[in-house]
Amino acid sequence: MNMNRRQAMAMSAGAVVFAATGLATTGALASAEDVDKAMMELAGGKMPEAGKVSLTAPEIAENGNTVPISVEVDSAMADGDMVESITIYADGNPNPDVVTFHFTALSGTAMAATRMRLAKTQNVVAVAKMADGSTFVDKKEVKVTIGGCGG
Amino acid sequence: MTAKFSRREFLQYGSVAGLALAGASGFAGNLTRALAQQKLTQDDLLKFDSKGQVTLLHFTDVHAQLKPVYFRPPDTNIGVGAFEGIPPHLVGEAFLDYFGLQAGSPYAYAHTMVDYVNLARSYGKLGGLDRTATLVKAIRAERGDDKVLFLDGGDTWQGSYTSLKTNGQDMVDCMKLLKPDAMVGHWEFTFGAERVLELVDEMGYAFLASNIVDTNWEEPVFDSTAMFERGGVKVAVIGQAMPYTPIANPRWMFPEWSFGIRPEVLQANVDKAREDGAEVVVLLSHDGFDVDQKLATVVSGIDVILTGHTHDSIPRAIEIGNTLLLSSGSHGKYLGRIDLEVSGGKVTGYSSNMIPVFSDVITPDAEMAAKIAEVRAPYEDECNRVIGTTESLLYRRGNFNGTWDDIICQGLIEERDAEISLSPGFRWGTTLLPGQDITIDDLYAQTSMNYPNAYRLEFTGQQLKDILEDVCDNLFNKDPFYQQGGDMVRVGGMSYTCAPKEDIGNRISDMTLISSGEKIEAEKKYVVAGWASVNEGTEGPPIYELMENYITRKKVLTAPEEGTVKISGY
């Protein structure tokens, strides 16, 4: 959905009919390429593999201003099987870097949850970096919709 | 699990179908005569290949229709991606062919729009909660109470004049007599969180939702699962509310509840039920048919999905891997039944049927009939008040504008002096045959809701395009988990072309203002009227008052001959 600033203001004034679940900004937004680049950097020059990490996010956001997500890595969190960090990206936000969670053996499990704002429909990407340097990725499209005509 | 559709079931099926007419093909004149000569009986409708220890009865999306109704099945129900050309995306002759139904038969009339008006005049209305009560009681008597689970799939409380006036109390009072074992919800939530909790508290059976959590802590708001023992078998029933209720309906009415499909939570609940000893796991769902077809492939361990929301009816259960799926239509037209044979903690056999509730054939249950009369009594005169008549067949259901929507869109344009009108793609709303009176009951069957204000605003052409694209993607996204289960928003005063198989942004083209024949311009502003906005504080007269004025003024309604939507690439 494209929405300029004026429309966004009209919405916040409650004058409109279709509730936007997210508010776009007028600035430039990130792209999938930006996120690919950031992931390559994190992974040391290659793309992370699929597997181990699983990202949970709604298919369609109820409120684009606060989208709950959680991420978990299948790991023993001991000896050779340690998660060092999980980084979350959003490939359609003004700034694609969302958050990095750091873990130690004392963390017990490699699991984290947060809420994020999404400017529009886009992919949320989670990359887990293991202590041995290997990286894993999971991705989910979260739709930010106008809503209101179903049922 | 056993074979698709056994020869025996097929024959039994054929015998019901065969009652309709011998060798006729839906030819109206002969048909009416043939029907007049036939004798469809209550016993025929109840005929069933009883099996095993457990009987599941499924009733869903009645939308507060206590009395029998006409409800024309859709002529357009497009499936995309992996769901093209399979149930529920089959209509008319294709539906008859797929399920082996004979044109003109009772089942053909119940499930398709083929020769609808003629068959409706012959077979009469379907539904009526007093008729459903008769069937439920008969099946409980046949099987024994201890073998039957009766499950309400939701969208029960909303959709009529009396449900609006009583805040759903009429439906709860009547449903209580049917003693369901559990229910799930969707439009229930549009009565507001507080009212939902109040009615759930008094109804005396489980209100289940595996997929509703509070927005602060993401903790469950309702029980996810109810355990039962039927015929010596432990049965877990897990509930799913409509996943996109806070998006398709006003979130401000239940601001602290968050929904979603949450397949991972559902899987955990299924696993938990198995750990707790469930031999059969049933999902009572308001997800919609396609969402549940996909869910059956990504969540393991569900034996039966009883699905609702999308108002699709199929004459028998379908198999998706090891999961049976039954979708029991809407508006009280059907009672779905599945019998399960369970041995060694596993489902080893089943039989299924969708019983059409032919109201002229089934003796109303006296207790329920009296309760319906009682809850309607304060409103009966108003409900029956005639405000006009229709020359046309008026219906709503279908992916694009139905004739009732065309009337409402025209009403919005005239009463609110707009160029273009938008009307939501709800799947509820009954049918009127040509020549029928239009009563307050009929009007509210199309419009009864708690956010009815008919707005009048200026939209740019671009905004209109964005709205149409957005709603269209809720309907035709190739991944059903992104579908919300409504039909396309209805449009008046403007025509357009829709390409369902395209992606968002590329489905809608050729938007044209009908009055001038000019193409819609992206930057230009247009005066638009519509209703059912999900935004709090929307201003304008309630749609039912606006439409009462319009119909009263018109006296006789005639639907336009031609639709405003052209389908391309399908």
DSSP 3-state assignment of B372?
Answer: helix
A111 touches chain B (CB under 8 A): no
Question: Taking residues B61-65, what's their average pLDDT?
Answer: 98
A3 vs B contacts (CB less than 8 Å): 466
Q: What is the ipTM of this complex?
A: 0.87
- What letter would DSSP give residue B453? B
Paired tokens of B43: 């016993």
pLDDT tens, A11-39? 333 334 454 454 445 578 889 999 999 99
B473 vs A contacts (CB less than 8 Å): 143, 145
The type of residue at B154 is G
Contact B218 A68 (CB under 8 A): yes
| pLDDT value, residue A5 | 37
> Which of A95-99, A100-104, A128-132, A144-148 comes out lowest in average pLDDT?
A144-148
pLDDT tens, B85-100? 999 999 999 999 999 9
What's the length of chain A?
A: 151
Nearest CA in chain A to B486: A150
* Residue B415, burial from CB neighbour count under 10 angstroms (0-12, 13-18, 19+): buried
| pLDDT value, residue B359 | 96
Q: Which of A21, A17, A116, A28 is nearest to A63 (CA)?
A: A21
pLDDT band, residue B563 (cuts 50/70/90) = confident
Contact A16 B457 (CB under 8 A): yes
Supply angle C-alpha A145, A148, A149, rounded to 5. Answer: 110
User: In the CATH scheme, what is the homologous superfamily, with its name and number, of domain B384-567?
Assistant: 5'-Nucleotidase, C-terminal domain (3.90.780.10)
pLDDT tens, B418-430? 999 999 999 999 9
Peptide bond preceding B434 in cis form (omega within 30 of 0) = no
Question: Taking residues B496-514, what's their average pLDDT?
Answer: 97
| pLDDT value, residue B95 | 98
- Please say whether the beta carbons of B88 and B310 come within 8 A: yes
Indicate if the pLDDT at residue A4 is higher than 50. no
Q: pLDDT exceeding 90 applies to what percent of chain B?
A: 91
* Among candidates B187, B482, B536 on the partner chain, residue whose Cβ is nearest the Cβ of A14: B536
- What letter would DSSP give residue B81? G
pLDDT tens, A74-83? 999 998 899 9
Q: What is the pTM of this model?
A: 0.91
Average pLDDT, chain B: 93
| pLDDT value, residue B165 | 98
A47 touches chain B (CB under 8 A): no
Nearest CA in chain B to A69: B218
A56 touches chain B (CB under 8 A): yes
A144 vs B contacts (CB less than 8 Å): none
| Separation in Å, CA of B107 to nearest CA in chain A | 26
DSSP secondary structure letters along chain A: ----HHHHHHHHTT--SSPPSS---SS----HHHHHHHHHHHTTSSPPEESSEEEE--SB-S-TTSEEEEEEE----BTTB-EEEEEEEETTSSS-EEEEEE--GGG-SEEEEEEE--SSSEEEEEEEEETTS-EEEEEEEEB-----S--
Domains of chain B, residue spans? 1-39+90-122, 48-70+124-374, 384-567
Contact B463 A14 (CB under 8 A): no
Q: Give the Cα separation of B551 and B444 in Å (integer).
A: 13
Contact B536 A147 (CB under 8 A): no
B426 vs A contacts (CB less than 8 Å): 151
Tell me how far CA of residue B123 lies from CA of A62, B105, B109, B342, B362, in angstroms: 44, 10, 8, 37, 12
Q: Which of B173, B175, B284 is nearest to B226 (CA)?
A: B284
Indicate if the pLDDT at residue B245 is higher than 70. yes
Query: Which CATH entry fits the domain spanning B48-70+124-374: 3.60.21.10, 3.40.50.12780, 1.10.287.610, 3.40.630.10?
Result: 3.60.21.10
| pLDDT value, residue B291 | 98
Contact B486 A150 (CB under 8 A): yes
Domains and CATH numbers, chain A: 28-142 (2.60.40.2470)
A80 touches chain B (CB under 8 A): no
A148 vs B contacts (CB less than 8 Å): 247-249, 424, 532-535
Contact B457 A15 (CB under 8 A): yes
DSSP 3-state assignment of B268?
Answer: helix
How would you classify the pairing of strands B494-498 and B565-567?
Answer: parallel
The type of residue at B158 is Q
| pLDDT value, residue B26 | 37
| pLDDT value, residue B85 | 95
| pLDDT value, residue A18 | 53
Average pLDDT, chain A: 84
Contact A150 B425 (CB under 8 A): yes
pLDDT tens, B150-162? 999 999 999 999 9
Contact A150 B466 (CB under 8 A): no
